[in-house]
Amino acid sequence: MAHVVLVLVETVNDYLPLLEREGFELILAPTPSSRAEAIAEHGARINAVLTRGPLGLYAEEIADMPSLLIICVIGAGYEHVDLQAASNRGVVVTNGAGANASSVADHAMALLLSLVRGIPQADAGIRRGEWNKLRQPSLAGKRMGILGLGAVGMAIAKRAANGFDMSISYHTRQERHDMHYTYCKNVIELASSVDFLIVATPGGSETRHLVDTAALYALGRNGYLINIARASVVDTQALIDALAKGKIAGAGLDVFDDEPEVPDALKLLGNVVMTPHMGGQSPEAAEGTVQMVVNNLLAFFAGQPVLTPVRLPEPQ
């Protein structure tokens, strides 16, 4: 009998045949209404769920799927997956850490280049018939700080160091001794020592508002913030205030608190470049993330350890 996978994601349909070719039965439910209907109708048969961090999977949904054995999250973040409920039921959780790292790192650098070099303003000016040669800073030789040095953070560091001769500093919960980058013991120390602060850490309660007013002021008037991680890591109102008051030079944002809603205050600011949470969206990343799901599911149902397990709390 084929294992049944409930697919909640809406961005990888072209690569779902990778799952079907391995014999998995798919139930597609990419909207809130279809999700509820699918769980109500097929909950007893569902063995696995494919979701994203922002879409999550909640305790009541887990309870309504008595045959659920494994939750596979596309991407590194799993902030809206109820890990306690999964642990209580003995459900395994995996994520896609590293599968889209190259795409996200490329996007981080694209945001940084666009922001610092004033590309959107120059393009808009030409379209208005203007010829304003903006004098914008160079990236070469600058100091980059990375908050979170996982697969994405490492990919960004590699591009910045090798491509732009930047010095790299970072902050994580624990210092890494397998690299030569400079470790900072907290976010304030990191922000105060760099020109560009890149947010690349997972979301969730442990990282909520790590970048607050104090961190932004430490970054300073000539500093730039890029967030390609989760909006919750940055205090949005503090960021808006800092941008409006010129306390930092600018921000590049790919993530927002209430996606797809974006605060009007951000839209009105000229020192912000924004994209619609597309950093991890590329054909290569989509195929890679689905293939990782396939590999995790095949390992799990073969009784082998999954490749990218998420650490769960103790059952209660």
Active-site amino acid positions: 230, 259, 277
Distance CA 27, CA 148 (A): 35
Cα 124 to Cα 20, 249, 252, 272: the distances in Å are 45, 19, 17, 14
Distance CA 33, CA 11 (A): 17
Q: Where are the beta strands (DSSP E) in the chain?
A: 4-7, 25-28, 48-52, 70-74, 92-94, 143-147, 167-171, 182-183, 196-199, 224-227, 250-253, 272-274
CB neighbourhood size of 44 (10 A): 12
Residues whose CB is less than 8 angstroms from the CB of residue 106 and which lie 6 or more positions away in sequence, other chains included: 159, 282
> Rg (Cα) of the chain, in Å, rounded?
21
CB neighbourhood size of 43 (10 A): 17
Residues whose CB is less than 8 angstroms from the CB of residue 31 and which lie 6 or more positions away in sequence, other chains included: 10
Can you tell me which residue has the tokens 């306390």?
Answer: 247
